[in-house]
Amino acid sequence: GAVVSQHPSRVICKSGTSVKIECRSLDFQATTMFWYRQFPKQSLMLMATSNEGSKATYEQGVEKDKFLINHASLTLSTLTVTSAHPEDSSFYICSARKGSGEQFFGPGTRLTVL
Amino acid sequence: GNSVTQMEGPVTLSEEAFLTINCTYTATGYPSLFWYVQYPGEGLQLLLKATKADDKGSNKGFEATYRKETTSFHLEKGSVQVSDSAVYFCALRGSQGNLIFGKGTKLSVKP
C-alpha cells in the first residue's frame, strides 16, 4: 500500500505559540489531502480538505485563520495551528487520496498545548 | 446529514472467539462503506470495503456485508487472534470524497 508520513509524531508547546504539522505522501502524488482531528474516545472529525494549488475547504465550525493549511505540492500538505491554546490539544491525522479514490492515512500527530 | 454509529467498546475476547462489531449508517443514497483498523502506534489502514448494496467486503478473515435494508455494515470474524487487537472504525464516503467515521471500537484479544 501507499505510505503517508506525518511529522512530528508528538509535539508539546506553550500556549500562544504556533505549531506546524507536515503530511507527506511518500510514494504517490496526492492532489487531495484531508485533515482530521480525533478527541479521546471520539471519532475522527474532518477539519478541512486540502487541494494542491488552491485554498483549503474548511468544515463548518473550523476556524480557517487558526488552522492554516497549505498544500504546496502534490506530496506535501501542512497544517499550522496558530496561537495554540490548551483546548487545541488533540490528535491530528492527515490522509492523502490517490487517483483511484482510496485514502491512505498518516500515523497522526499528538499535540499537547500547555 | 450523513453519520455512522458503531458499537462502543472496549470489546474483550479470548483467542479463537467469534467477533461482531455492529455498524449502522445514515446517508443520502448508497455511499461506499469501509472498515478501517488502527493498530497501536500506527495510522489507520483500510481493512475492507463495499461499494454497493449486498456487496461483501473481506480481508484477513474479516467480513462485512452492505445491507441497505437495515443500513448496516457489521464487521465479523470467525476466530480472532491476539494480533487482531486494535481499534476498528466504520466509515462511509461523503459527497466530497471525505470519510465520515464512527467513534471506533477497541478490540482486545486475550491469549
Residues of chain B found within 8 Å of residue A97, distances taken between Cβ atoms: 97
**Do A65 and A56 meet the contact criterion of CB atoms below 8 Å apart?**
no
Interfacial A residues in 80-99 facing B (CB < 8 Å): 93, 95, 97
Model confidence pLDDT, tens digit, residues A44-91 = 899 999 988 888 999 999 999 999 999 888 999 999 999 999 999 999
**Do B73 and B89 meet the contact criterion of CB atoms below 8 Å apart?**
no
Model confidence pLDDT, tens digit, residues B52-100 = 999 999 999 999 999 999 999 999 999 999 999 999 999 999 887 889 9
Sign of CA dihedral B8, B10, B11, B15: positive
Instruction: Supply A6's cell numbers.
Output: 506525518
Residues of chain A found within 8 Å of residue B43, distances taken between Cβ atoms: 4, 6, 93, 105-108
Rounded CA separation B48/B12 (Å): 22
Q: How far is A39 from chain B (nearest CA, A)?
A: 10
CB contact under 8 A, A49 and B97: yes
Residue B29 pLDDT level (bands cut at 50, 70, 90):
confident
Residue B46 pLDDT level (bands cut at 50, 70, 90):
very high
CB contact under 8 A, B97 and A4: no
- Of residues B92, B86, B67, B69, the one with CA closest to residue B1: B92
- Locus of grid cell 470495503: B49
Rounded CA separation B58/B76 (Å): 9
Q: Which of B43, B96, B99 sits opposite A107 (nearest CB)?
A: B43
Residues of chain A found within 8 Å of residue B103, distances taken between Cβ atoms: 41-43
CB contact under 8 A, A95 and B103: no
Rounded CA separation A63/B53 (Å): 37
